Amino acid sequence: MQIIPKDTIIFLRELKLNNNRDWFNKNKERFNTIKSEVKIFAQEVSNSLNVSDNIEKFKIFRIHRDLRFSKDKTPYKKNIGMAFHRAKPEHRGGYYLEISADESFIAAGFWNPNKEDLFRIRKEIEIDGQEFKKIVNQKRIKDIWGNIKGDEVKTSPKGFNSDHDHIDMIKKKQFIYIKKLDEKEILNSNFQSDLVNYFISIRPFFDYMSEILTTNLDGESILH
């Protein structure tokens, strides 16, 4: 079972203090070693998730920053991020891990649903918000992840009553869970299996949301 190399966080902290191309090029071989081991780690996580899930692909994000529209011209990110994508359209939701020089975390859920999906989720909450809250407040999910989070509109979305009993959920533009990680946990030999278990714990929410997003308001499948 692949572990996260100890040098990963050390490298990211040094990069934070030396965020320039000269330093990075001098340490490129070191970074490539970290990247190759992290890729093995991600592949093994994907394989483990696939025992009970359907992961279409995983992605390790580039460490180079996109500077085109940024005032901050430092060339490199202070983190290594990876995402695990479920096979659409039947399986919705996604998993994410970020190892950082500052604050590492994992996340799961729906970061930026498209307009149609967001409307469908809101309509489901409008109709049966009690069931939605029963799912998101399951003890195992809350014990590991805490409360569901996400950006919200200020009052109520267009076409929805601001006095609705579940307006707190209808207002959301994102439906995500975030769990912070410390260095000791990331470097622990059990981290890979712990990470998989954290992700598996969110499945009841993903299964529920997948059912919503693959059916219409009459419960009929919209998949062809």
Q: Which domains does the chain have, with CATH numbers?
A: 7-213 (3.30.930)
Interstrand relation of 55-60 and 94-100 (parallel, antiparallel or unpaired): unpaired
Amino acid type, 128: D
In the predicted model, is pLDDT for residue 220 greater than 80?
yes
Q: Which of 92, 175, 169 is nearest to 127 (CA)?
A: 169
Rounded to two decimals, the pTM is: 0.95
Structural contact between residues 195 and 106, judged by C-beta atoms closer than 8 angstroms: yes
pLDDT level of residue 224 (50, 70, 90 thresholds):
confident
Q: How far apart are CA 137 and CA 216, in angstroms?
A: 24
**pLDDT confidence of residue 47:** 98
Q: Tens of pLDDT along 81-124? A: 999 999 999 999 999 999 999 999 999 999 999 999 999 999 99
pLDDT level of residue 72 (50, 70, 90 thresholds):
confident
Sequence-ordered list of residues with C-beta below 8 angstroms from that of 50, at least 6 positions apart, any chain: none
